[in-house]
Structure formats: C-alpha cells, structure tokens
A = this chain, B = another copy of it.
Amino acid sequence: MTAYDRAPAFLTIDVGAVVANWRLIRDRVGPGCEAAAVVKADCYGLGAERIVPGLAAAGCRTFFVATIDEGIAIRKVLPREVTVAILGGPLPGAAADLAEHALTPVLNSLDQIGLWAGYAAATGSRLKAALHLDTGMSRLGLDAPAVAMLAADPALLNGIDPILVMSHMACADETGHPKNRQQLTAFQTLSGQLGLPARRSLGASSTIFLGPDYHFDLVRPGAVLYGLNPTPDQANPMAAVVALHARILQVRDVDSPMTVGYGATHSVRGKGRVAVAALGYADGVFRSLGNSGFGVIEGERVPVVGRISMDLTTFDVSALAPEQARPGALIEIIGPHQAADDLAAQGGTIGYEVLTALGRRYLRTYQGEVV
C-alpha cells in the first residue's frame, strides 16, 4: 500500500505555475525593475523548500520572508549571494543569527536601526539592510518624524549599507482608492528626504497592477506568485497553482426528515443524498464555510450542508447520479472550477488566508519542479 491509497485528501502544488507567475510579473515590470519574491509564511503555506529553488533557478535574486527562522530555512536552499530580507527586522539578541546566515533585515524603526548599527559597531563590520518607511499602513516602518530624525542625523546609519528603501500599500487591491496615490506621494517625499544611495520599492502584488508609477526599482510579488487574483474586480491574470481534492468516505441516502451535523443547523426534508468528505477545519476548511461553501464533482457544484467538522465536511449531492458521488470518489475543493479566492469569498475571507490555513494532513504533490 502507498501513501496515496490511504490519503484522505490531496493537495497539488504546481511549482511550474509559480515560476510562470513570477516571469509574468518580471516581464510586466520590465528590465529597469527587479522582480523579487515574497516567500514568507512558508510560501503562503505552499512549501518554501520546494518552491524557492524553482524561483531561484528562474533568476529571482531577492527573497522576502517574515521571520529570522524563515530566513535561516530558505538560506539552506539558496546560494549566499542571493538576498534574503527579513521583514520583521532584527529582534534584540538575534543580530548574530542574521549575520551568520547572511540575512538582510528590514529596519522598521529607529530602535531596529540602533540594534543593527550597534551590532555593526560591536563587530567592526559593515552590514546591509533595507529601510522600511510607513506611508499609511500604520504597521511596521519609520514614520515621518523618524524619517526626519534620520535625515538630520545620518550617523544613525553608521556601519549600515542601505540597499533598499521600501514601503507597503494598504488599499492596493482597490484600484480607485484615494489612499493609493496618497501613499505613492508620501513614499516619494519621505524617500527623497532620506536621499540614500539605495534602490526603492513600493509594490507588492496588487500594487504592481496599479501601473508603472508604483514599480520603482524593485517589486515584491507574493500572492500573485501563488495564483491569487491581484485585481479582485477583474479577471485573474495569474496561473492557478493549487488544487485540493478530498475523498468521499460515505454517502447517505435520505428519505425521512433529518438534520445534518453539529448544532443541527441544516435540515433535509425531501429525498436526497449527503456525502461525507474526509477533510475539515483542522485541514483549513474554515468553519465559516458551514452551510455556505461548495465543492465540485465532475464539474457540478455541490453545497456544503451543516457545520464543518474538525475532520469531515458534508455535501448535498442529491443533484448528482449515485455513481458520480460514491465512496472513494474525489470532491474538488480548490481546482479548475473553484479558485482559492472563490472558496475565500464563500467563507468571508481572502484567498491569502485560505492558502496559509492549508493543513498538514494532505498528501502533498509538487509538480513542475526544477530537476
């Protein structure tokens, strides 16, 4: 018997499609702008160790992760001259880890600049860093007063080679949002005040699609690499990366009134059939999909009925022939008929959260890897 025979559900990840998506972005921004890759959160849950080598082989030379541990993990599959930037920046006491693994911190505050400059001074070394300016996210980044202090006192950066000045957009998925242009202007102003000999970067996935004004010297595609739609009000220009299918464990014929699942939230009145599939919220199929999500069997949508259980999900398959919905058959959860973005909309969230929530019990298969 193989792992396939006993697997309850199957996650297929097309590394070739990730690489194709990266190339599409690279070609879109043109030769004057570098296409980096955002591979944090284990490539949005899809597996950094399998995907990052493919992107590197395609020519990607700058990778962004969130944490130092993520940086250490991908450094193992990347040559040392490739830039690995840590978006969370240095933590007190972790500067030596950053240096040892040739990781480039993104410095988000004067505190973090002080930590990194202090480590440079203590070790007598010059250290690369990116500087992150906050232009309207109010999350990580130097705000206007901090930028003014830095501009007035360049010695704060002693020992640091700033290789990138960056910011991040709050509303780039809404093309007409006034905040987009406000943040663009703020980025131009603040980065101009600093006047550092560093490249500039503003654009993550959706921002790239706002047009060339937003590209600057380097773009940071993330969600688009994994097939999510950067322009929710238009067709998705990206190739699909993820497919998720679950086995049907049992099909129940109903001919008397009954309720389905926890809390008895769904009632079956007429004749029908309910299929039980072998995945649930422990696999990342959110409880919010109860009585609102869909699966697909042979191209036909089948609605989720009842609440999502930890390991099981129930679908109304009454509209299908018995031979279509039978034990052992597969239900598409994400695939050609239903994108991760679609599933997200059914559950009241975004495709990003669908991907990062994908569980550990799937039989994972990678396609299109570099060999």
Contacts and interface: CB of A to CB of B under 8 A. Distances in A.
A87 B250 CA distance: 12
Interface stretch (A148-156, A234-242, A348-356): A348-356
A45 interface: yes
A50 interface: no
Nearest to A97: B1
6 contacts: A42-B360, A66-B311, A139-B309, A170-B263, A281-B353, A287-B349
B40 A94 contact: no
A297 interface: no
Nearest to A67: B8
Contacts of A1: 93-94, 96-97
User: Chain A interface: which size bin?
Assistant: 35 or more
Given A281-B356, A360-B42, A68 B6 contact: yes
Interface string A247-288: 101101010001111111000100000101010011010111
A251 B111 CA distance: 10
Contacts of A252: 134, 138, 143
Q: Which of A138, A252, A268, A311 has the most CB of B within 10 A?
A: A138
A345 interface: no
Contact of A67 (B264, B356, B361): B361
A5 B259 contact: no
B139 A261 contact: yes
A140 interface: yes
Nearest to A68: B6
A227 interface: no
Contact of A352 (B44, B88, B310, B356): B310
Contacts of A353: 281, 286-287
Contacts of A264: 136, 170-171, 177, 179
Interface string A335-369: 00000000000001110110011001100000000
A327 interface: yes
A91 B353 CA distance: 30
A325 interface: no
A27 interface: no
A328 interface: yes
A7 interface: yes
Contacts of A276: 139-140
Contacts of A134: 252
B88 A262 contact: no
A248 to B, nearest CB: 10
A109 interface: yes
B310 A361 contact: no
A137 B250 contact: no
A33 interface: no
